[in-house]
């Protein structure tokens, strides 16, 4: 579950809407853990305290840079993945947005692009709407960028203007009919997307490796395979002592199984090796000969499955951390990481989806950072669900204890022998 910090300046009605959404199950992928107020007398502070939410006050009495730096320092306590501006009466700079390293969401009381930007806030928006003679207004939830009210629109909801409306009446009805409805839903949508282990835009990442550490400090790994051909889909994972092997549930006599049958997980002394091909054995043999993970993989190349030339992905893990590698036509790449509780790295073979008749594009860039909870059942089920039932074949997840001595694991197979 993601951490949400809410920035406020006033009564906190939208903060209350988020808290209520948590309690009624609308907001389930994130939780408000912190409220930062630019005013010490904001009633939003009382709302936060009532529900045991941490509060920080950063009075707006300093220059812009100093004010923003104090907010960033307050946010550093929780390192939220999502920041919500809920009645926060200050425009944030590009520098703040980049330094926060979080998705920042704002609620604005009009239908953007109407009545937005500098000078349009609070009652001023509703006064301008009524003065314009418009029959419809509403609210907009959007991502925050360096342009005031200029970020990507996430949700909008219209509200009808009545003949007897005053700015105060209209403000209240826009909150009740629009803001309190769309803000929690938009925040949930953003949190749900960020929480996904597999990028939500990829249905066929191919084969994937995750290595890292759970939130409670347990070294963890996961490996999954997918398939599009009948032979690729006819595979299962099976334990072989502390290692893992792949078996076929049915054999096609005209099919060469050399690229789909291998040992995906082997152990040499205190080192766990995970790969998507027979380079597992190459790494094992090199380690046994006193050489390194990198030495082994420099003798190998991508798979000879023209025209795709699928990358070979590999990982090795022990008490001190983990390494990952990808061998593809563009070169051989190596990555090394220290353990960080709650986080891991995911590398997979294909970068994005294409039509069935197109060449599969190789994974690009550095392995993606992913979150790893301490609940192996929850983590495994979430990953299995995200792989997608159209192509998923098998998956293995292992969580060690904090001393790297014992482990628990889970196997998921679409097929059975």
Domain extent listing, the chain: 2-195, 208-413
Q: What is the C-alpha separation between 189 and 12, in angstroms, rounded?
A: 21
Mean pLDDT of the 172-195 span: 94
Mean pLDDT of the 303-311 span: 94
Provide CB contacts within 8 A for 61, sequence distance 6+. none
Mean pLDDT of the 269-294 span: 97
**Does pLDDT of 98 surpass 80?**
yes
pLDDT band at 254 (very low <50, low <70, confident <90, very high): low
Per-residue pLDDT at 414? 95
**Does pLDDT of 253 surpass 70?**
no
Q: What is the C-alpha separation between 20 and 184, in angstroms, rounded?
A: 9
Q: What is the C-alpha separation between 37 and 26, in angstroms, rounded?
A: 25
Mean pLDDT of the 272-299 span: 98
Provide CB contacts within 8 A for 376, sequence distance 6+. 397, 399, 408, 409, 410
Per-residue pLDDT at 24? 94
Nearest by Cα to 228 from 319, 342, 350, 92 = 350
| CATH of the structural domain 2-195, one choice from 3.40.50.170, 3.40.1480.10, 3.40.50.150, 3.30.470.30 | 3.40.50.170
Identify whether 348 is a catalytic site residue.
no
Mean pLDDT of the 236-265 span: 87
Burial of 185 (0-12, 13-18, 19+ CB in 10 A): middle
**In the predicted model, what is the mean pLDDT of the chain?**
93
Out of 90, 108, 308, 348, pick the active-site residue. Answer: 108
Which two tokens mark 167? Answer: 């700015």
Q: What is the C-alpha separation between 335 and 325, in angstroms, rounded?
A: 6
Q: Are 15 and 107 in contact (CB under 8 A)?
A: no
**Does pLDDT of 307 surpass 90?**
yes
pLDDT band at 231 (very low <50, low <70, confident <90, very high): confident
DSSP for 344-412? EEEEESB-S---TTSPPPBP-SSPEEEE--S-HHHHHHHHHHHH-TTTEEEEEEEEE-TTSS-EEEEEE
Per-residue pLDDT at 274? 98
Continuous segment of H or E residues that includes residue 47: helix 44-50
Mean pLDDT of the 129-150 span: 96
Which fold, 208-413? 3.60.20
**Does pLDDT of 29 surpass 70?**
yes
User: To the nearest 10°, the Cα dihedral for 119, 122, 123, 125?
Assistant: 50
Mean pLDDT of the 363-378 span: 92
Q: Are 262 and 232 in contact (CB under 8 A)?
A: no
**Does pLDDT of 417 surpass 70?**
no
- Apex 41 CA angle, 36 and 43, nearest 5: 75
Q: How many CA atoms lie within 13 A of 62 on its CB side?
A: 10
Per-residue pLDDT at 192? 87
pLDDT band at 348 (very low <50, low <70, confident <90, very high): very high
| pLDDT above 90: percentage of residues in the chain | 83
Nearest by Cα to 171 from 204, 137, 217, 213 = 137
Strand pairing report for 235-240 and 219-226: unpaired
The model's pTM is 0.67
Q: What is the C-alpha separation between 346 and 205, in angstroms, rounded?
A: 11
Helices (H), 103-248: 123-132, 167-174, 180-195, 230-233
Per-residue pLDDT at 199? 76
Nearest by Cα to 48 from 31, 35, 30 = 35
Mean pLDDT of the 161-179 span: 97
At 180 the three-state DSSP class reads helix
- Per DSSP, 29 falls in state S
**Does pLDDT of 311 surpass 90?**
yes
The single residue listed with the structure tokens 């993945």 is 81
Continuous segment of H or E residues that includes residue 92: none
Q: Are 83 and 104 in contact (CB under 8 A)?
A: yes
What helix, strand, coil percent values describe the chain, rounded to 5?
A: 25, 30, 40
375-392: per-residue pLDDT in tens?
999 999 999 999 888 899
Mean pLDDT of the 68-82 span: 94
Per-residue pLDDT at 63? 64
């Amino acid at each position: 579950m993601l951490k949400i910090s809410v920035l406020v300046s006033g009564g906190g009605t939208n903060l209350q809407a988020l808290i209520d959404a948590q309690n009624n199950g609308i907001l389930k992928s994130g939780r408000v853990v912190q409220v930062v107020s630019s005013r010490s007398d904001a009633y939003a502070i009382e709302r936060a305290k009532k529900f045991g939410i941490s509060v920080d006050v950063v009075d707006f009495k300093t220059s812009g840079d100093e004010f923003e730096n104090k907010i960033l320092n307050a946010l550093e306590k929780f390192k939220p993945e999502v920041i919500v501006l809920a009645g926060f009466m200050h425009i944030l700079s590009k520098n703040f947005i980049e330094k926060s390293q979080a998705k920042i969401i704002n609620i604005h009381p009009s239908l953007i692009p109407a009545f937005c930007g500098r000078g349009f806030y609070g009652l001023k928006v509703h006064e301008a709407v009524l003065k314009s003679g418009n029959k419809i207004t509403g609210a907009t939830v959007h991502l925050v960028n360096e342009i005031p009210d200029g970020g990507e629109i996430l949700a909008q909801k219209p509200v009808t203007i009545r003949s007897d409306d005053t700015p105060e009446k209209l403000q209240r009805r826009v909150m009740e009919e629009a803001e309190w409805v769309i803000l929690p839903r938009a925040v949930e949508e953003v949190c749900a997307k960020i929480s996904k282990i597999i990028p939500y835009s990829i249905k066929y990442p191919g084969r994937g490796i995750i290595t890292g550490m759970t939130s409670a400090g347990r070294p963890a790994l996961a490996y999954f395979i997918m398939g599009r051909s009948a032979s690729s889909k006819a595979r299962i994972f099976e334990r072989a002592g502390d290692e893992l092997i792949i078996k076929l549930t049915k054999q096609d006599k005209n099919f060469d199984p050399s690229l789909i049958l291998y040992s995906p997980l082997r152990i040499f002394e205190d080192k766990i090796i995970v790969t998507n091909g027979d380079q597992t054995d190459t790494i094992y043999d090199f380690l046994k000969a006193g050489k390194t993970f990198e030495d082994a993989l420099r003798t190998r190349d991508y798979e000879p499955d023209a025209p795709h030339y699928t990358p070979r992905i590999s990982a090795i893990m022990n008490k001190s951390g983990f390494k990952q590698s990808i061998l593809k036509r563009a070169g051989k790449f190596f990555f090394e990481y220290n353990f960080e509780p709650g986080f891991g790295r995911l590398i997979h073979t294909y970068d994005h989806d294409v039509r069935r008749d197109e060449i599969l594009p190789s994974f690009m860039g550095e392995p993606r950072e992913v979150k790893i909870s301490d609940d192996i059942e929850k983590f495994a089920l979430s990953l299995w669900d995200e792989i997608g039932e159209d192509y998923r074949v098998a998956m293995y997840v292992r969580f060690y204890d904090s001393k790297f001595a014992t482990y628990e694991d889970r196997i998921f197979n679409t097929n059975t022998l």
